[in-house]
Amino acid sequence: MRCLPMPDSIHTPSVSERWLTIIGIGEDGPAGLGDAAKAAIAAAGLVFGGTRHLQLAAPLIAGETSAWLSPFETSVEAVVARRGKPTVVLASGDPFFFGVGATLSRRIDPVEMHVIPAPSSFSLAASRLGWPLQDVTVVSLHGRPVDLVRPHLQPGRRVLALTSDEKGPATLAHLLAETGFGGSRLTVLEALGGEQERLTRHVAAHFSDDVFHSLNVCGVEVTAGEGARILPLAGGLDDALFEHDGQITKREIRALTLSALSPRRGELLWDIGGGSGSIGIEWMLRDPAMRAIAIEQAPDRAARIGRNAAMFGVPGLAVVEGQAPQALAGLVTPDAIFIGGGGSEDGVMDAAIAALRPGGRLVANAVTIEMEAVLLAQYARLGGTLVRIDIARAAPIGNMVGWRPAMPVTQWSWVKS
């Protein structure tokens, strides 16, 4: 048996190093806190938190308090400036589950922190509903577009959605109803863990005009009606799901293009000549951490990309209205680039190749002779992979059916060394 070498020493942080204590607090306030959390709050020279958090913990606070400021980064700077001094940050539930802990950890080393989490609102909601949390999709809509729930609307799926305010449940119910999921059961769980806790059950299409607590989680049992907008989990989504003017990479070509682009979690794609945005949208649907920028010179198409991105639940897709290569200047360095339009224009291909990071992938499709000539020249110069894609679809010919070929596509794929 081989043993892994042990490190020369294991660093145990001292009390002074762990100057920042992040404490999760629930609606039950001090009653739900342990002795360590209570002692940390009492000993802190300064306690940060939301106004509600500070009110809940008020009986324990001996030092000064600071409510979160807007913009939030101002408060982050204030926390960082306290380095070395006993400081407490109060957070809702689990600080590292859609919480402030994730933000602070980008500026403060975890070795400087002592984190005391409480049950998250998702955990509390799952326990009230009797839903095994590992089998549930959780999504935060707090301060985020409700469209983010769209990719998760699969028949039979259970979704826990944290909303922003008292209007959140109605907004979610409206989205479910208008997309064909009106039969879904929706449970609103309010002020979990506190004296005002309440649970009410609804059907999305007949959602009540009840007044809800601003702190709420919605449990959705997804039921798809006829014509429901269900986004298949496979690549190459039906063209009819997209709003387009004919300028769209067709589904079969799109599936092959995404395969060639080889998406990896957290990567950034440039979609040059975005058209309908279909490539960038499917790229982002692969994982919530995916990012994409669509570059499109036509204003109407740029606006259409934004609408499509929202309808597919990826509203974070960035749209740059402008013509390549000029519009590429100043953009974040991409991990992958797709060129679906405008690639034969002067300077576009050279700018894309120069912008790509080492190890990045470039995929370009050609349907015109001019663009094909560009790809053949790049293949001769740089190598890579050249593929010819021919698709034919069955179509009526008189009273019979025959094969109607689509325009062939030449695809060049290349990895930058």
Q: Are the CB atoms for 287 and 281 separated by under 8 Å?
A: no
Q: Which amino acid is at 97?
A: F
Kind of pairing between the strands at 392-397 and 400-405: antiparallel
Per-residue pLDDT tens listing for the chain (417 residues): 445 554 554 445 554 579 999 999 999 999 999 999 999 999 999 999 999 999 999 999 999 999 999 999 999 999 999 999 999 999 999 999 999 999 999 999 999 999 999 999 999 999 999 999 999 999 999 999 999 999 999 999 999 999 999 999 999 999 999 999 999 999 999 999 999 999 999 999 999 878 999 999 999 999 999 999 999 999 999 999 999 998 899 999 999 999 999 999 999 999 999 999 999 999 999 999 999 999 999 999 999 999 999 999 999 999 999 999 999 999 999 999 999 878 889 999 999 999 999 999 999 999 999 999 999 999 999 999 999 999 999 999 999 999 999 999 999 999 999
Buried b (16+ CB within 10 A) or exposed e, 328-344: beeeeebbbbbbbbbbb
Pick the closest to residue 293 from 334, 256, 237, 236 (CA basis): 334
Length of the chain, in residues: 417
- Which residues have CB under 8 Å from 301's CB, separation 6+? 245, 247, 274, 275, 276
Q: Are the CB atoms for 66 and 78 separated by under 8 Å?
A: yes
Q: How far apart are CA 342 and CA 88, in angstroms?
A: 54
